[in-house]
Amino acid sequence: MIELLGVSKVYPPDIVALRDVTLKVEGGEFVFVTGPTGSGKTTLLRLLIGDVVPTRGRVVVGGVNLAEVKRGDLPLFRRDVGVVFQDFKLLPHKTAYENVAFVLEAFGLPPREVRRRAMEALEMVGLVHRRRLFPEQLSGGEQQRLALARAIVNMPSLLLADEPTGNLDPHTASDVVKLLLQINAMGTTVVVATHNRELVNELRKRVISLRDGVLVRDVRGGTYDDE
């Protein structure tokens, strides 16, 4: 599903974000990416959606070598990848329903199919009753769940989440994690970049750790601090 071969990323003038990273993630896995701020976690996720290109090495997602994807074809590739950003990136002037439906409308689906899928996604995250509210009328946890609904509404095979519990209280964070596990159980590969030690230790999933752009640890059934 995901394969990085000798991947390095250097930002001008000489900032090394990733250094010679090689790893493979199989379809259906649930993987945590950990490491201190500046370790390369976000750059790794951006590479997986073609938002940045590697300075060296090869990035393959779903059998697609991203180096061979033309810039204009990236939206088509991204149809199969859901992304949840730390700051949600919701559309402030659209309702919860419209934020989710917008994704499907952009793909040209017929109105009836848009409504069916959007309502199913909102139901999955428990927001059907809040569908007419705007993002600013929702709590932080509800905004995060709305971001998840938008990310999964097109039923992607890969979901990337950047610090999805970073700004949430423990109870709300737990609800979001349950959703991520539910999405994973449906067959979606889930990659989560996080600083949340308790979350990683509780779930005991595969843990990939970065430090100064270097892959320093890859443990299955690991904890945040495994060596």
| Tokens 């149809």, located at residue | 79
Q: Is 95 exposed, middle or buried (0-12, 13-18, 19+ CB in 10 A)?
A: middle
- Residue 110, number of CB atoms within 10 A of its CB: 10
The answer to whether 58 touches 6, Cβ cutoff 8 Å, is yes
- pTM, entire model: 0.92
The answer to whether 60 touches 25, Cβ cutoff 8 Å, is no
Q: How far apart are CA 185 and CA 15, in angstroms?
A: 38
Q: What is the pLDDT of residues 24-38, one digit of tens each?
A: 999 999 999 999 989
Q: What is the pLDDT of residues 72-114, one digit of tens each?
A: 888 889 989 999 988 888 999 999 999 999 999 988 899 999 9
Mean pLDDT by groups of 10 residues along the chain of 227 residues: 96 95 97 94 94 95 91 88 89 97 92 96 95 96 93 94 86 87 94 92 94 96 79
pLDDT at 226: 63
Q: Pick the closest to residue 18 from 1, 35, 2, 30 (CA basis).
A: 35
pLDDT at 147: 94
